[in-house]
């Protein structure tokens, strides 16, 4: 979703200027959001200087100072730091009453609202690390106080670094965490295994790496941009009696689908456990 004039005029504070915070700042700036309408906050002087030098925005150490005047506040701190961060900024948030977008994994909407001590519009988003290269995948869920315009604004913020989809059921964010949040590691593991296999068969390591990465990129683009689902695409490239069919038989005998299903279920369970832990009083 391209940033509209109204969205570009919004004053946005990003609390936490680590990897994900910086990626969102970079995506917003690249999408045309005026640098003077962005303000970052981070306790680390090196992080502040890095963001200031890269994007030419104002960056401060004090969270309430960053929040002052902001229409949108993005909470981009680690889950274990969320309670202290939100509690410390609660007075400023109650006074400003901005749209709050949290990208901290496992921190539920109710916990954020409880730490603030007021009923504010809050969106919870689950992005993933490919957002760092503008190819992220995020799911969003809002509380009842988020209006349609604020949903559009939250969508534009997350789409500045990739794909964004909305969910009605917050519990499904644990599934998203297990799928797209942890998912890059699954694909990296498959890519690593393919590289190793090709190298073991004599292909030079650099060529194996580049061919593997490009193959993964091409397959993802076909799945995302084309009309066919992955099952159909797999059938289309699996000629009877050919090399791909032989390889697929090996993967099927090894239980690939079961293993991936077990992995996603295990990650979902851990996401729920961490949400319970981080969301405690």
- 10 Å CB burial of residue 59 (0-12, 13-18, 19+) is buried
Neighbours of 238 (CB within 10 A): 15
- Backbone φ and ψ for 75, nearest 5 degrees, come out as -95, 105
Angle at 36 between CA 41 and CA 63, to 5 degrees: 20
188 pLDDT band (50/70/90 cuts)?
Answer: very high
User: Could you give the C-alpha distances from 201 to 95, 197, 242, in angstroms and in order?
Assistant: 64, 6, 19
- Ranking 4-8, 65-69, 93-97 by mean pLDDT, the lowest is 4-8
Place of tokens 């957002």: 131
274 pLDDT band (50/70/90 cuts)?
Answer: confident
Coil, helix or strand for 32? coil
- What is the per-residue pLDDT across 117-162, written as a single tens digit (0 to 9) for each? 999 999 999 999 999 999 999 999 999 999 999 999 999 999 999 9
What is the edge-to-edge ordering of all strands in the sheet holding 38-41? 58-60, 38-41, 12-15, 72-75, 99-102, 122-126, 136-142, 162-166
- Backbone φ and ψ for 256, nearest 5 degrees, come out as -55, -50
Q: Compute the average pLDDT of residues 176-201.
A: 97
- What is the per-residue pLDDT across 213-242, written as a single tens digit (0 to 9) for each? 999 999 999 999 989 999 999 999 999 999
- Ranking 106-115, 174-183, 271-280 by mean pLDDT, the lowest is 271-280
- Backbone φ and ψ for 142, nearest 5 degrees, come out as -120, 155
Domains (range + CATH), the chain: 5-177 (3.40.50.720), 181-273 (1.10.3730.10)
9 pLDDT band (50/70/90 cuts)?
Answer: confident
Q: What pLDDT, on the 0 to 100 scale, is given for residue 278?
A: 84
Distance, CA of 31 to chain centre: 17
Cα torsion at 18, 58, 66, 148 (round to 10°)? -80
């Amino acid at each position: 979703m391209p940033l509209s004039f109204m969205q570009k005029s919004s004053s946005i504070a990003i609390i936490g200027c680590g990897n994900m915070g910086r990626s969102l700042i970079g995506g917003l700036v690249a999408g045309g959001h005026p640098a003077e309408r962005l303000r970052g906050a981070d306790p680390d002087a090196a992080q502040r200087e890095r963001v200031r030098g890269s994007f030419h925005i104002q960056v401060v150490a004090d969270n309430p100072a960053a929040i002052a005047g902001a229409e949108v506040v993005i909470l981009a701190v680690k889950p274990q730091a969320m309670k202290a961060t939100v509690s410390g900024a609660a007075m400023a948030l109650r006074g400003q009453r901005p749209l709050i977008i949290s990208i901290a994994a496992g921190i539920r909407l109710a916990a954020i609202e409880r730490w603030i001590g007021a009923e504010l519009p809050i969106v919870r988003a689950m992005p993933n690390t490919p957002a760092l290269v503008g190819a992220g995948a995020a799911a969003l869920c809002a509380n009842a106080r988020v209006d349609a315009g604020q949903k559009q604004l939250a969508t534009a913020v997350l789409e500045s670094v990739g794909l964004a989809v909305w969910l009605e059921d917050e519990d499904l964010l644990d599934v998203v965490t297990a799928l797209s949040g942890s998912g890059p590691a699954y694909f990296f593991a498959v890519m690593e295994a393919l590289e190793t296999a090709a190298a073991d068969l004599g292909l030079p390591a650099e060529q194996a790496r580049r061919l593997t990465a490009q193959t993964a990129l091409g397959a993802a683009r076909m799945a995302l941009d084309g009309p066919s689902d992955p099952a159909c695409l797999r059938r289309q490239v699996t000629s009877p009696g050919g090399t791909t069919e032989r390889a697929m038989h090996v993967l099927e005998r090894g239980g690939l689908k079961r293993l991936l299903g077990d992995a996603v279920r295990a990650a979902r369970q851990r996401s729920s456990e961490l949400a319970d832990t981080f969301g405690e009083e």
